[in-house]
Structure 1
Amino acid sequence: MMEPQITELERDIIKEILNIGLARAADSFAAIAQDKVLLKVPDIQLIEVKELLKLVAKYEDTHAIIQSDVKGDFNGATLMLFSDEHIVRLSEVCLGMLDVQPGELSVMQESLLLEISNIITGAMVTQLANILKANIYGSPPKAPKNHIADSLKDILVQHPLFQPLVFTVITRFTHNSKSVELPLLLFFDSKTFLKILDIIRTFDLGKNNLMETD
């Protein structure tokens, strides 16, 4: 079983591609949040499936989790993890709700989180598709009601021997100079990861300035 190998340069290129997508997503999110939003990819990890599930389980009791699957030429998903504090802040800013109490999500709050996830995943997938010339789309986001590991099995179990590639994105959402962190996990299965590497390896890096893509 071959482990995917990735050089430092390739890692940086993938990070740069994702950062371009996230910059677009941040602008769209900022319009809803009516404030500055900063999105960047601080880390790229190749991790074992069980480590990934452990990582996600850690957030499960304290965060509302929204999942969007990435389909088409690539197979993956994004998970956005909203803390109570974040939900309160977003509800006040975007929905004009006052004195929001943390706890069970209202239908409006859940719709808002789904919409934010949709915007961010959509913007990222569109940019990835443009830069990598791939046919990919995000499926409508959902808020898994059951154990998140069950909802991720589709992606992970199809290739149980493969390590998924996990990108952790920390979103900073600033409102009235208070900053809230919003973790976003983006992951692809190894087959997708190898496809992305193949595409990157065909780039003529001297001429191909990623920033020039529309």
Structure 2
Amino acid sequence: MEFTQAEMDVLKEVGTIGSGNAATVLASMLGQRIPITVPEARFLPLSEVVTALGGPEREVVGILLGVSGPAPGTIIFLLGIEDAQILSQKLLGAPPEVPGQLSEMEKSALSEVTNILSGGYLNALSQFTSLTFEPTPPAFAHDMAGALIDAVLAEVGLVSDYALFIETNFTADQDGLSGHFFLIPSPDGLERILQALGVRRTWENSSKI
């Protein structure tokens, strides 16, 4: 699947608008602004997701949401364990209870951030596509990147080849944090999103992209 520069710019704009929306909501909740930037937004082959996360052995936390509507799918927001603890510390205003482990309060805070990010990005995608996206309540996971992604894809039974990948960077005080937001649509959902975005697809053949 190939994309023009104009099409890539549309995806980046979805990420930029969505992150701006999410930053505004977070600022209202926390009483301080945590800037969110999107250095990259693109459709990524699922075979490359684990590489984008830093390799299969990287310890990560993931928050999973289902998406219903005319383009159903699944959202996964992933952070390295260190970044997850720093972000939860900023959200809660307290240091980690146990380094390398997340308390229930910290998991709840990260789940709420994922809800906010999902709402921001899905609303922006809806503006560009005129499609409706409805997220479900989040579920939490903590594992190595390879095992977590394999388990998630097996559990939800997705057979799509691509994910909308939005790299999401947070800045709070002197800390820079990087998260990875993935929207993995069903095959029919991907088709609807691509058509609504006006994406032209170039297939090398019927079985190889």
Q: Is the contact made by 1:67 and 1:79 (CA closer than 8 Å) also made in structure 2?
A: yes
Tell me how far apart the structure 2 counterparts of residues 135 and 194 of structure 1 sit (CA, whole Å). 15
1:96 to 79, 93, 115: 93
Residue 111 (structure 1) shift:
0.7
Per-residue CA deviations over 1:41-98 (Å, capped at 9, x if unaligned) read 5141431x33335545836642222122322112333322233433443343332324
* Amino acid paired to 1:150: A
Residue by residue over 1:109-159, the C-alpha shift from the partner in whole angstroms, topping out at 9 and shown as x without a partner, is 11111111111112221232233211211111111367422122355x443
Q: Which amino acid aligns with 2:91?
A: C
Cross-structure match for 2:182: 186
Q: Secondary structure at the match of 1:143?
A: strand
1:195 to 179, 192, 196: 192
Q: TM-score, normalised by structure 2?
A: 0.75
Aligned to 2:169: 171
CA distance in 1, matches of 2:15, 2:88: 27
Residues 63 and 81, structure 1, Cα contact 8 Å, conserved in 2: yes
Which residue is 2:121 aligned to? 124
1:173-193 deviation line (CA, Å, top 9, x unaligned): 222xx1322222323345333
| One-letter amino acid of the structure 2 residue matched with residue 151 of structure 1 | V
C-alpha separation in 1, matches of 2:127 and 2:164: 21
Q: Is the 8 A contact 1:121 1:138 kept in 2?
A: yes
**8 Å Cα contact 1:43-1:169 kept in structure 2:** yes
**Secondary structure of 1:23 counterpart:** helix
CA RMSD of aligned residues (A): 2.9
Alignment size in residue pairs: 193
Identity of matched residues, %: 22
Amino acid at match of 2:116: I
How far apart in 1 are the matches of 2:16 and 2:83? Answer: 22
Instruction: Rate the CA distance shift 1:192–1:7 in 2: closer, same or farther, 3 A.
Output: farther
Q: For 2:171, give the aligned amino acid.
A: F
Q: TM-score, normalised by structure 1?
A: 0.74
Report deviation, 1:170.
2.6
1:142 to 121, 134, 139: 139
- Which ranges of structure 2 fall in alignment gaps of 5 or more residues? 200-209
2:157 aligned with 1:133: no
Change beyond 3 A, Cα 1:145–1:83? closer
The equivalent of 2:5 in structure 1 is 8
CA contact (8 A) 2:17 2:120 kept: no
Residue of structure 2 aligned with 1:29, choices 20, 26, 29 = 26
Could you list the runs of 5+ residues in structure 1 that have no partner in the other structure? 203-214
Task: Report the alpha carbon displacement of residue 21 of structure 1 after superposing the two structures with TM.
Answer: 1.8
Residues 84 and 102 in structure 1, CA contact (< 8 A), matched pair in contact too: no
